[in-house]
Amino acid sequence: MQAAKRLSRAFLTSTHQMSTNGYDCIGILVDDEQPVFSTVAERLRNAGNRVRFLDPRSELPSSRVDDLSLIVNKQVFPVTLPALRYARRTETAVWNNVTATVALSSRLVGLNALEAVGFRTPPVTFEKPDGEYVAKDWHVWDGAPELNGEGDFYQELIPTEPVDYKYYAVSDGERTWTAGRRVTSKLYGPKRFLGRARTRPALASRLRRLVERLDLRGVGVDFIRDHEDRFWAVDVNLAAGYRDTGLETALFESIRASLPDRYSDE
């Protein structure tokens, strides 16, 4: 009996040492040139984790999933969905939960989720409205919204300045950090950073509610502001880039908190 206890304790100690010596391997679904996640990856490595960047536009074999402790699904395309479902079945940790990832890939579901937490969204039609409009495809990976173009559904263009207000939330499961920025609208040309946006408490509160209801770890919501100073939520984005937000530390903490618990030698 004592020998068995010593063997068990030795096994647990060995497992703990493997964990603290970099046992955890984190796979990040994102282009390795992405500046924010490159910075976060370096911090994770300095904390003792191994980090791999995974091409989100390529198939991720189950054998590679088996080598990972956590998948950070920053960017997802249809080709990577089978790997995320496999990870869920095999209890490999995934940063943003798989159900929400699949659901919010539908733009209509995303708009409905935004409305459910109290955001104002432009009405949807399946015929082109009179006047100017924004055309959108069903899924977030099918293409960017287009001004007066062809799409699967349409939204009347809200009169506003050509500026988007992007709000971001990052959660570690207990605390949620938020930040905002202003950029030029891609409806009128290439996106340019204009500056940090003052976080409006009502919008931040609803954003936190979205995070809590869908059990998210990272999300972005795009707003426009009309001439009556009303904010309209026009898109929800689980593939947010977090540039110019100062949320690198929050992302590091969130990813570390998402790693599975390991054995203790106590």
| Per-residue model confidence as pLDDT tens digits over 219-253 | 999 999 999 999 999 999 999 999 999 999 999 99
Nearest Cα to 87, choosing from 66, 114, 112? 66
Task: Indicate the fold that domain 107-237 takes in CATH.
Answer: D-amino Acid Aminotransferase; Chain A, domain 1 (3.30.470)
pTM for the whole thing?
0.87
Nearest partner of 43 among 234, 248, 224, 258, judged by Cα: 248
Strand order in the sheet with 231-237: 193-196, 176-184, 163-171, 218-225, 231-237
83-116, pLDDT tens digit by residue? 999 999 999 999 999 999 999 999 999 999 999 9
Mean pLDDT over 17-44 rounds to 80
What average pLDDT does the chain have?
90
Across 139-152, average pLDDT: 96
pLDDT band at 23 (very low <50, low <70, confident <90, very high): low
Yes or no: say if 226 and 158 are a contact pair by the CB < 8 Å rule.
yes
Q: What architecture is domain 2-95?
A: 3-Layer(aba) Sandwich (3.40)
Which is higher by pLDDT, 17 or 162?
A: 162
Cα gap 124→155, rounded to integer Å: 5
Q: What is the pLDDT of residue 132?
A: 96
Rg of the chain on CA atoms, in Å: 21
How far is the C-alpha of 12 from the C-alpha of 15, rounded, in Å?
5
Is residue 201 pLDDT above 80, yes or no? yes
Question: CATH 3.40.50.10190 spans which residues of the chain?
Answer: 2-95
Give the tokens for residue 123.
């009405």
Instruction: Read off the pLDDT of residues 24-36 as tens digits, 9 standing for 90 and up.
Output: 899 999 987 899 9
Asked which of 2-6, 8-12, 175-179 is least confident by mean pLDDT, the reply is 8-12
Helix 248-258 with 35-46: angle, nearest 10 deg: 50
Q: Where do the CATH 3.30.470.20 domains begin and end in the chain?
A: 107-237
